[in-house]
Amino acid sequence: METRKIPGTDLNLSVIAFGSYASGKGWAPSERKSAIEAIRASYQLGVTTFDTAPIYGLGDTEAILGEALSCFPRDKVQILTKFGLRWLYVRGRPFRTVVSFDGKDVNIYRYATRESVIEECENSLRRLKTDYIDLYQLHWPDEATPFEETFEAVSRLVEQGKVRYVGVSNVTPEQMDEIGKIVPVVSLQMPYNMVERGIEKDVMKYCIDSNRAILAYRPLEAGLLTGKIRPDATWPRNDSRNTNPYFTPDNIRRVNAFLEQLRPLASEKKATLAQLALRWTANRSGITSVLAGAVNSLEAVENARAAEISLSRRDMDFINGTLLKLDTEMINEALRKTRVRLAALS
Protein backbone atom coordinates (compact mmCIF):
# COMPACT_ATOMS: atom_id res chain seq x y z
CA MET A 1 0.00 0.00 0.00
CA GLU A 2 1.31 3.41 -0.98
CA THR A 3 1.81 5.78 1.95
CA ARG A 4 2.09 9.55 2.04
CA LYS A 5 3.59 11.65 4.79
CA ILE A 6 1.74 14.53 6.41
CA PRO A 7 4.21 17.43 6.06
CA GLY A 8 5.97 18.36 9.28
CA THR A 9 5.06 15.10 11.04
CA ASP A 10 6.16 11.49 11.23
CA LEU A 11 2.68 10.29 10.21
CA ASN A 12 2.73 8.22 7.03
CA LEU A 13 -0.88 7.70 5.99
CA SER A 14 -2.05 4.94 3.69
CA VAL A 15 -3.26 6.53 0.45
CA ILE A 16 -6.56 4.71 0.91
CA ALA A 17 -7.71 5.11 4.51
CA PHE A 18 -10.64 3.51 6.27
CA GLY A 19 -13.36 6.12 6.83
CA SER A 20 -15.74 4.81 9.47
CA TYR A 21 -18.77 7.02 8.85
CA ALA A 22 -20.53 4.10 7.16
CA SER A 23 -19.90 2.02 10.27
CA GLY A 24 -21.93 4.34 12.47
CA LYS A 25 -25.56 3.45 11.99
CA GLY A 26 -26.26 1.51 15.17
CA TRP A 27 -25.59 -2.19 15.06
CA ALA A 28 -27.19 -5.55 15.45
CA PRO A 29 -24.61 -8.19 16.52
CA SER A 30 -24.23 -9.47 12.94
CA GLU A 31 -23.69 -5.94 11.58
CA ARG A 32 -21.14 -5.16 14.29
CA LYS A 33 -19.26 -8.34 13.35
CA SER A 34 -19.26 -7.27 9.68
CA ALA A 35 -17.93 -3.83 10.61
CA ILE A 36 -15.06 -5.34 12.60
CA GLU A 37 -14.27 -7.74 9.76
CA ALA A 38 -14.19 -4.80 7.32
CA ILE A 39 -11.67 -2.91 9.45
CA ARG A 40 -9.44 -5.96 9.88
CA ALA A 41 -9.63 -6.85 6.18
CA SER A 42 -8.49 -3.31 5.36
CA TYR A 43 -5.46 -3.67 7.62
CA GLN A 44 -4.53 -7.00 6.06
CA LEU A 45 -4.36 -5.28 2.66
CA GLY A 46 -2.11 -2.50 3.89
CA VAL A 47 -4.56 0.14 5.12
CA THR A 48 -2.98 1.64 8.23
CA THR A 49 -5.03 4.84 8.59
CA PHE A 50 -8.42 4.73 10.30
CA ASP A 51 -10.59 7.82 10.63
CA THR A 52 -13.59 8.06 12.94
CA ALA A 53 -15.53 10.49 15.16
CA PRO A 54 -17.56 10.29 18.37
CA ILE A 55 -20.68 11.38 16.51
CA TYR A 56 -20.59 8.33 14.23
CA GLY A 57 -22.94 5.86 15.83
CA LEU A 58 -23.14 8.16 18.86
CA GLY A 59 -19.93 6.71 20.25
CA ASP A 60 -20.45 3.15 19.05
CA THR A 61 -18.27 3.50 15.96
CA GLU A 62 -15.22 4.50 17.99
CA ALA A 63 -15.84 1.45 20.19
CA ILE A 64 -16.08 -0.80 17.12
CA LEU A 65 -12.83 0.60 15.77
CA GLY A 66 -11.13 0.17 19.12
CA GLU A 67 -12.18 -3.46 19.31
CA ALA A 68 -11.22 -4.17 15.69
CA LEU A 69 -7.74 -2.67 15.99
CA SER A 70 -6.94 -4.10 19.41
CA CYS A 71 -5.31 -7.19 17.89
CA PHE A 72 -2.81 -5.18 15.81
CA PRO A 73 0.38 -3.42 16.99
CA ARG A 74 -0.59 0.12 18.00
CA ASP A 75 2.46 1.66 16.35
CA LYS A 76 1.49 0.12 12.99
CA VAL A 77 -1.77 2.07 12.66
CA GLN A 78 -2.77 5.72 12.71
CA ILE A 79 -5.98 6.45 14.60
CA LEU A 80 -7.70 9.68 13.60
CA THR A 81 -10.74 11.00 15.40
CA LYS A 82 -12.55 14.28 15.94
CA PHE A 83 -14.18 16.55 18.50
CA GLY A 84 -16.65 19.40 18.69
CA LEU A 85 -20.03 17.74 18.10
CA ARG A 86 -21.96 16.69 21.23
CA TRP A 87 -25.23 14.93 21.86
CA LEU A 88 -25.11 14.33 25.61
CA TYR A 89 -25.84 17.96 26.49
CA VAL A 90 -28.25 20.59 25.20
CA ARG A 91 -25.45 23.12 24.83
CA GLY A 92 -23.92 25.04 21.95
CA ARG A 93 -25.32 25.68 18.49
CA PRO A 94 -27.78 23.18 16.93
CA PHE A 95 -26.09 21.17 14.19
CA ARG A 96 -28.47 18.48 12.98
CA THR A 97 -30.76 15.69 14.13
CA VAL A 98 -29.84 12.05 13.64
CA VAL A 99 -31.71 8.82 14.30
CA SER A 100 -30.27 6.59 17.02
CA PHE A 101 -30.02 2.80 16.78
CA ASP A 102 -33.38 2.49 18.58
CA GLY A 103 -35.14 4.84 16.16
CA LYS A 104 -35.20 7.94 18.35
CA ASP A 105 -34.29 11.43 17.18
CA VAL A 106 -31.08 12.74 18.75
CA ASN A 107 -30.13 16.41 18.52
CA ILE A 108 -26.49 17.22 17.80
CA TYR A 109 -24.81 20.46 18.86
CA ARG A 110 -21.59 22.22 17.90
CA TYR A 111 -19.89 22.57 21.26
CA ALA A 112 -16.15 22.89 21.79
CA THR A 113 -15.51 24.61 25.10
CA ARG A 114 -12.36 23.85 27.06
CA GLU A 115 -14.08 21.40 29.40
CA SER A 116 -15.99 19.70 26.57
CA VAL A 117 -12.85 19.11 24.48
CA ILE A 118 -11.03 17.53 27.42
CA GLU A 119 -14.02 15.33 28.21
CA GLU A 120 -14.45 14.27 24.57
CA CYS A 121 -10.81 13.25 24.30
CA GLU A 122 -11.02 11.10 27.43
CA ASN A 123 -14.18 9.43 26.12
CA SER A 124 -12.57 8.76 22.73
CA LEU A 125 -9.41 7.28 24.28
CA ARG A 126 -11.54 4.93 26.36
CA ARG A 127 -13.71 3.79 23.44
CA LEU A 128 -10.75 3.43 21.09
CA LYS A 129 -8.80 1.39 23.67
CA THR A 130 -5.68 3.52 23.27
CA ASP A 131 -3.74 6.05 25.28
CA TYR A 132 -3.07 8.45 22.41
CA ILE A 133 -4.72 9.75 19.24
CA ASP A 134 -2.47 10.26 16.21
CA LEU A 135 -4.50 13.08 14.66
CA TYR A 136 -7.19 14.95 16.63
CA GLN A 137 -9.44 17.03 14.37
CA LEU A 138 -12.02 19.73 14.96
CA HIS A 139 -15.12 18.24 13.30
CA TRP A 140 -17.05 21.47 12.68
CA PRO A 141 -16.38 24.98 14.04
CA ASP A 142 -18.29 26.06 17.14
CA GLU A 143 -18.99 29.72 16.40
CA ALA A 144 -20.07 30.32 20.02
CA THR A 145 -16.67 29.37 21.47
CA PRO A 146 -13.49 31.30 20.59
CA PHE A 147 -10.84 29.26 18.81
CA GLU A 148 -8.40 30.33 21.55
CA GLU A 149 -10.39 28.45 24.17
CA THR A 150 -10.94 25.37 22.03
CA PHE A 151 -7.37 24.95 20.85
CA GLU A 152 -5.69 25.87 24.11
CA ALA A 153 -7.47 22.77 25.43
CA VAL A 154 -6.17 20.76 22.47
CA SER A 155 -2.65 22.10 23.13
CA ARG A 156 -2.90 20.80 26.68
CA LEU A 157 -3.81 17.36 25.32
CA VAL A 158 -0.76 17.46 23.05
CA GLU A 159 1.46 18.39 26.01
CA GLN A 160 0.03 15.46 27.97
CA GLY A 161 0.81 13.04 25.13
CA LYS A 162 -2.83 12.16 24.58
CA VAL A 163 -2.82 13.78 21.13
CA ARG A 164 0.12 13.67 18.71
CA TYR A 165 -0.97 16.09 15.98
CA VAL A 166 -3.83 18.50 15.36
CA GLY A 167 -6.05 18.73 12.29
CA VAL A 168 -9.27 20.44 11.30
CA SER A 169 -12.28 19.60 9.18
CA ASN A 170 -14.88 21.69 7.36
CA VAL A 171 -13.17 25.04 7.93
CA THR A 172 -12.07 27.87 5.64
CA PRO A 173 -8.47 28.86 4.91
CA GLU A 174 -9.07 32.01 6.97
CA GLN A 175 -10.15 29.91 9.94
CA MET A 176 -7.12 27.66 9.49
CA ASP A 177 -4.88 30.73 9.65
CA GLU A 178 -6.59 31.82 12.86
CA ILE A 179 -6.29 28.38 14.46
CA GLY A 180 -2.69 28.06 13.28
CA LYS A 181 -1.73 31.01 15.46
CA ILE A 182 -2.75 28.96 18.52
CA VAL A 183 -1.55 25.46 17.67
CA PRO A 184 0.23 23.89 14.66
CA VAL A 185 -2.40 22.52 12.25
CA VAL A 186 -1.10 19.79 9.96
CA SER A 187 -4.17 18.75 7.97
CA LEU A 188 -7.58 19.66 6.64
CA GLN A 189 -10.35 17.13 6.04
CA MET A 190 -12.91 18.12 3.41
CA PRO A 191 -15.40 16.46 1.03
CA TYR A 192 -13.86 15.86 -2.37
CA ASN A 193 -14.74 13.58 -5.27
CA MET A 194 -15.46 13.60 -8.99
CA VAL A 195 -18.68 15.62 -8.62
CA GLU A 196 -17.92 17.59 -5.42
CA ARG A 197 -14.84 19.62 -6.28
CA GLY A 198 -15.46 22.89 -4.49
CA ILE A 199 -12.10 22.84 -2.72
CA GLU A 200 -10.34 23.21 -6.08
CA LYS A 201 -11.30 26.90 -6.11
CA ASP A 202 -8.98 27.93 -3.27
CA VAL A 203 -8.51 25.31 -0.55
CA MET A 204 -6.21 23.00 -2.50
CA LYS A 205 -3.77 25.77 -3.38
CA TYR A 206 -3.89 27.09 0.17
CA CYS A 207 -3.00 23.70 1.65
CA ILE A 208 -0.25 23.05 -0.90
CA ASP A 209 1.23 26.51 -0.32
CA SER A 210 1.03 26.18 3.48
CA ASN A 211 2.40 22.60 3.44
CA ARG A 212 -0.70 20.98 4.94
CA ALA A 213 -2.26 17.63 4.10
CA ILE A 214 -5.74 17.25 2.63
CA LEU A 215 -7.77 14.23 3.69
CA ALA A 216 -10.60 13.67 1.23
CA TYR A 217 -13.84 12.40 2.72
CA ARG A 218 -16.97 11.25 0.87
CA PRO A 219 -14.86 10.17 -2.15
CA LEU A 220 -17.75 8.18 -3.63
CA GLU A 221 -20.39 10.81 -2.80
CA ALA A 222 -22.44 8.49 -0.60
CA GLY A 223 -22.40 5.74 -3.23
CA LEU A 224 -23.34 7.90 -6.20
CA LEU A 225 -20.02 7.24 -7.95
CA THR A 226 -20.36 3.47 -7.75
CA GLY A 227 -22.82 3.48 -10.67
CA LYS A 228 -25.25 1.43 -8.58
CA ILE A 229 -27.70 4.20 -7.57
CA ARG A 230 -30.97 4.22 -9.51
CA PRO A 231 -32.85 7.46 -10.29
CA ASP A 232 -35.90 6.14 -8.41
CA ALA A 233 -33.94 5.29 -5.26
CA THR A 234 -35.36 6.33 -1.88
CA TRP A 235 -33.57 6.85 1.43
CA PRO A 236 -34.37 6.38 5.12
CA ARG A 237 -35.60 9.30 7.19
CA ASN A 238 -32.84 11.77 8.09
CA ASP A 239 -30.55 10.32 5.41
CA SER A 240 -28.52 13.23 4.02
CA ARG A 241 -29.15 12.04 0.46
CA ASN A 242 -32.74 13.25 0.78
CA THR A 243 -31.46 16.83 0.58
CA ASN A 244 -28.24 16.29 -1.35
CA PRO A 245 -28.58 18.13 -4.70
CA TYR A 246 -26.55 15.45 -6.47
CA PHE A 247 -29.23 12.89 -5.69
CA THR A 248 -32.09 14.30 -7.73
CA PRO A 249 -33.34 11.78 -10.31
CA ASP A 250 -32.01 13.92 -13.17
CA ASN A 251 -28.56 14.25 -11.65
CA ILE A 252 -28.38 10.54 -10.85
CA ARG A 253 -29.12 9.86 -14.52
CA ARG A 254 -26.41 12.32 -15.60
CA VAL A 255 -23.82 10.85 -13.25
CA ASN A 256 -24.67 7.30 -14.31
CA ALA A 257 -24.29 8.31 -17.97
CA PHE A 258 -20.92 9.87 -17.14
CA LEU A 259 -19.82 6.70 -15.35
CA GLU A 260 -20.83 4.58 -18.35
CA GLN A 261 -18.32 6.58 -20.39
CA LEU A 262 -15.65 5.56 -17.88
CA ARG A 263 -16.60 1.89 -17.84
CA PRO A 264 -14.26 0.88 -20.72
CA LEU A 265 -11.33 2.46 -18.85
CA ALA A 266 -12.35 0.67 -15.65
CA SER A 267 -12.51 -2.61 -17.55
CA GLU A 268 -9.08 -1.99 -19.03
CA LYS A 269 -7.71 -1.45 -15.51
CA LYS A 270 -9.62 -4.50 -14.22
CA ALA A 271 -11.27 -2.14 -11.75
CA THR A 272 -14.76 -1.25 -10.63
CA LEU A 273 -16.14 2.23 -11.21
CA ALA A 274 -15.82 2.86 -7.47
CA GLN A 275 -12.14 1.91 -7.52
CA LEU A 276 -11.55 4.19 -10.49
CA ALA A 277 -13.20 7.07 -8.61
CA LEU A 278 -11.06 6.43 -5.51
CA ARG A 279 -7.83 6.26 -7.52
CA TRP A 280 -8.73 9.44 -9.44
CA THR A 281 -9.27 11.25 -6.13
CA ALA A 282 -5.95 10.00 -4.73
CA ASN A 283 -4.16 11.24 -7.86
CA ARG A 284 -5.39 14.80 -7.53
CA SER A 285 -2.93 17.50 -6.52
CA GLY A 286 -2.69 18.10 -2.78
CA ILE A 287 -4.57 14.97 -1.69
CA THR A 288 -2.68 12.97 0.95
CA SER A 289 -5.23 10.29 1.81
CA VAL A 290 -8.70 9.23 0.67
CA LEU A 291 -11.17 8.15 3.37
CA ALA A 292 -13.28 5.33 1.99
CA GLY A 293 -16.03 3.67 4.02
CA ALA A 294 -17.06 0.01 4.05
CA VAL A 295 -19.72 -1.92 5.94
CA ASN A 296 -18.30 -5.38 5.20
CA SER A 297 -15.03 -7.03 4.25
CA LEU A 298 -15.89 -7.27 0.54
CA GLU A 299 -16.29 -3.49 0.28
CA ALA A 300 -13.16 -2.96 2.38
CA VAL A 301 -11.08 -5.16 0.09
CA GLU A 302 -12.44 -3.41 -3.01
CA ASN A 303 -11.55 -0.01 -1.55
CA ALA A 304 -8.05 -1.02 -0.48
CA ARG A 305 -7.25 -2.49 -3.89
CA ALA A 306 -8.02 0.85 -5.52
CA ALA A 307 -4.51 1.81 -4.41
CA GLU A 308 -3.11 -0.80 -6.82
CA ILE A 309 -4.58 0.89 -9.90
CA SER A 310 -2.28 2.98 -12.06
CA LEU A 311 -3.75 5.94 -13.96
CA SER A 312 -1.52 7.60 -16.55
CA ARG A 313 -1.65 11.28 -17.41
CA ARG A 314 -3.61 10.30 -20.50
CA ASP A 315 -6.12 8.39 -18.34
CA MET A 316 -6.51 11.37 -16.00
CA ASP A 317 -6.95 13.74 -18.95
CA PHE A 318 -9.69 11.51 -20.37
CA ILE A 319 -11.55 11.40 -17.05
CA ASN A 320 -11.19 15.14 -16.52
CA GLY A 321 -12.42 15.91 -20.03
CA THR A 322 -15.46 13.70 -19.50
CA LEU A 323 -16.07 15.39 -16.14
CA LEU A 324 -16.08 18.79 -17.82
CA LYS A 325 -19.04 17.73 -19.94
CA LEU A 326 -20.88 16.53 -16.82
CA ASP A 327 -20.17 19.85 -15.08
CA THR A 328 -21.64 21.74 -18.04
CA GLU A 329 -24.81 19.63 -18.00
CA MET A 330 -25.33 20.13 -14.26
CA ILE A 331 -24.67 23.88 -14.44
CA ASN A 332 -27.09 24.30 -17.34
CA GLU A 333 -29.77 22.36 -15.48
CA ALA A 334 -29.27 24.48 -12.35
CA LEU A 335 -29.56 27.65 -14.45
CA ARG A 336 -32.70 26.33 -16.11
CA LYS A 337 -34.34 25.65 -12.75
CA THR A 338 -33.35 29.11 -11.52
CA ARG A 339 -34.96 30.72 -14.57
CA VAL A 340 -38.13 28.69 -14.01
CA ARG A 341 -38.32 29.83 -10.38
CA LEU A 342 -37.73 33.46 -11.33
CA ALA A 343 -40.37 33.27 -14.04
CA ALA A 344 -42.87 31.88 -11.54
CA LEU A 345 -42.18 34.82 -9.19
CA SER A 346 -42.55 37.49 -11.88
Decide if 56 is catalytic.
yes
The residue with greater pLDDT, 70 or 242, is 70
Pairing of strands 16-19, 78-83: unpaired
User: Is residue 54 a contact partner of residue 123, using CB atoms and an 8 Å limit?
Assistant: yes
**Domains identified in the chain and CATH numbers:** 3-226+272-310 (3.20.20.100)
- Which of 21, 43, 56, 136 is catalytic? The answer is 56
* pLDDT tens readout for residues 261-271: 999 999 999 99
The DSSP code sequence of 19-61 is EGGGG-S---HHHHHHHHHHHHHHHHTT--EEE--TTGGGGHH
* pLDDT tens readout for residues 89-111: 888 888 888 877 777 888 999 99
What is the model's pTM? 0.91
* pLDDT tens readout for residues 9-41: 999 999 999 998 876 555 455 588 899 999 999
The DSSP code sequence of 178-229 is HHHTTS---EEEEE-SSS--GGGTTHHHHHHHTT-EEEEE-TTTTTGGGT--
- Mean pLDDT score, 225-234: 91
Helix (H) or strand (E) holding 168: strand 163-169
Task: Kindly indicate the confidence band of residue 176, based on its pLDDT and cuts at 50, 70 and 90.
Answer: very high
The residue with greater pLDDT, 72 or 94, is 72
User: Is residue 216 a contact partner of residue 194, using CB atoms and an 8 Å limit?
Assistant: no
